[in-house]
Structure 1
Amino acid sequence: MKKTITFACLHFTVAFTVTYLLTGSAVIGGLVALVEPAVNTVVFYFHERVWKKYENQSASKVSDYSEQAFQSNDMTLVS
């Protein structure tokens, strides 16, 4: 949890600093430092959902391919 908190503080600081340097306004820097991470958090949530679907589909395809490959290589030894 400490790592998450320190990363959030770093993110706010970077967002504020970049915006302040670009605009010269502490008010705009503060607003961007609050809004941008909030928007980024929402976007990240949906990114994770899409990524999870992609991983599940990829795992399913690999599993299907492995089963087909095993079945096609099924050999019986005759003595």
Structure 2
Amino acid sequence: MVSFSCEVCNDTVLKKKLMQHRNQCPGAYFTCLDCQKTFQGLDFQGHTSCISEAEKYQKTVYKDTKSKKQKKPTNQ
């Protein structure tokens, strides 16, 4: 489950608890702990996909298995 950091009180909050936390913490805005993207207002609700743990921790050696296949050049 994706976790967010509240930039007002520095609390770590799971996505399913963000609305509850936002109501309790005036002026709260959040940063995704996986991709480090900051969300203002209710923008966090649209954050449905993020980098995978493999991509986050393996960085340069990570190979995306969903990437498009490269086209082979045709000989003329």
Q: Report the TM range for the smaller structure's normalisation.
A: under 0.3
Q: Which has the larger radius of gyration?
A: 1
**Structure 1 length-normalised TM:** 0.25
**Structure 2 length-normalised TM:** 0.25
Structure with more relative contact order (C-alpha pairs < 8 Å, separation 6 or more):
2
More helix, by proportion: 1
More strand, by proportion: 2
